Amino acid sequence: MTSRPRRLLFFLAIVLIAAFSVLPFLWFVATSLKTQMEATAIPPTLIPSFSLAFYRSALEEYHLLHYLKNSVIVAGAATAGTIGISLFAGYALARLPLRRKPLIMGSLLLVAMFPQISIAGPVWQILDALGWLNSYQGLILPYITLSLPLGVWIMTGFFRELPRELEDAARVDGCGHLQTLFRVIVPLAAPGVFTAAILVFIYAWNEFFFALLIMTQQPYQTLPVGIALFQGQYTIPWGEIAAASTIATIPLVLLVLLFQRRIVRGLSAGAVKG
């Protein structure tokens, strides 16, 4: 097979995979713009009438802005905490002569592979003993713990790529370890910081299992749990669910589109060097 047919087949495969991934999103976006009659029509209506009734209902009757506020608080705090800890841990693993460094990195990877259900009981008992169930900190702390392996791996790979001569020059100028880290290393490692922050934010924004387990009261529930618990009097409010899901998804899509190059660079950091 010549190279041209191979490229054509590869292109078609990419188109099919992209269509398979995007079509469900486009379908619930279209559903959110339908009227109640169109949303329940059989056979289904393909082209919506671009009504905003479901959006108004999701915002006013189902209190979507309340869940949105909770998700912003939890995801933002979890991202800030994870990045703050990952900066120090990644710098230490990349630069300090630590013993058994591969064992530490392997342990981080092993922790990241734990299924959530296997640690749900102990996490719930710890938070219950602390009195942190149905509280922001009760959800932020598990999110930071579960996101740290990813953050540390990305930071370590990026710090390893930076030449040590920069740090030596900073120390000659009188900078200490912290000054060197924040004035020299962190600005140069901005793509890695952005990558880790975006991926952690996406995880915390979309996470459902722990949010459902820990946040059992409506005032503290985040978007995934709030949307899942939308209830109608006689039927499931698919239109409102589609509208709320669209609102919840658009910020993540915009983040990935705006920072896609930095995400790719951050994920590939350290793949060859180090």
What's the angle, vertex CA 22, arms to CA 38 and CA 143, rounded to 5?
A: 105
For the chain, what percent of residues have pLDDT higher than 90?
41
The answer on pLDDT for 271 being more than 70 is no
Residue-wise pLDDT for 194-225, tens only, equals 888 998 999 999 999 999 999 999 899 999 99
Asked whether 222 and 71 are in contact (CB, 8 A), the reply is: yes
Residues of the chain with CATH 1.10.3720.10: 55-268
pLDDT given for residue 191 in this prediction: 79
Question: Six-digit token pair at 116?
Answer: 């959530």
pLDDT given for residue 2 in this prediction: 60
The answer on pLDDT for 44 being more than 70 is yes
pLDDT given for residue 273 in this prediction: 46
Residues in CB range of 4: below 8 A, 6 or more apart:
none
Mean per-residue pLDDT, 225-230: 92
> Cα 169 to chain center, whole Å?
36
| pTM of the predicted protein model | 0.86
Name residue, tokens 């710090």.
159
C-alpha–C-alpha distance, residues 108 and 100, integer Å: 13
The answer on pLDDT for 28 being more than 90 is no
Please report which confidence band the pLDDT of residue 272 belongs to, taking 50, 70 and 90 as the band edges.
Answer: very low
Of the candidates 44, 216, 34, the residue with the CA atom closest to the CA atom of residue 138: 216
The answer on pLDDT for 84 being more than 80 is yes
Of the candidates 228, 229, 223, 250, the residue with the CA atom closest to the CA atom of residue 70: 223
C-alpha–C-alpha distance, residues 196 and 204, integer Å: 12
Please state whether the peptide bond connecting residue 43 to the residue before it is cis, i.e. omega within 30 degrees of 0: yes
Q: Out of 21-25, 30-34, 46-50, 252-256, give the one with best mean pLDDT.
A: 30-34
The answer on pLDDT for 274 being more than 60 is no
pLDDT given for residue 269 in this prediction: 57
Residue-wise pLDDT for 100-158, tens only, equals 888 888 888 888 788 888 889 999 999 999 999 999 999 999 999 999 998 998 888 88
Please report which confidence band the pLDDT of residue 55 belongs to, taking 50, 70 and 90 as the band edges.
Answer: very high
- Give me the sign of the Cα torsion angle 226, 231, 236, 241: negative
What's the CATH class of domain 55-268? mainly alpha
pLDDT given for residue 201 in this prediction: 94
C-alpha–C-alpha distance, residues 73 and 71, integer Å: 5
AA letter at 8:
L
Please report which residue ranges of 61-135 form alpha helices under DSSP H.
Answer: 64-95, 101-112, 116-130
Please report which residue ranges of the chain form alpha helices under DSSP H.
Answer: 3-32, 36-39, 53-60, 64-95, 101-112, 116-130, 136-161, 164-172, 177-180, 186-188, 190-206, 209-214, 223-228, 238-258, 260-268
C-alpha–C-alpha distance, residues 50 and 31, integer Å: 9
Lowest mean pLDDT among 2-11, 34-43, 154-163, 247-256: 2-11
Question: Six-digit token pair at 31?
Answer: 């559903």
Mean pLDDT, the chain, whole residue set: 87
Residues in CB range of 194: below 8 A, 6 or more apart:
259, 262, 263, 266
Residue-wise pLDDT for 155-196, tens only, equals 888 888 888 888 888 888 888 778 888 888 888 888 788 888
In angstroms, the Cα distances linking 160 to 154, 171, 189, 234, 247 are 10, 18, 10, 58, 38
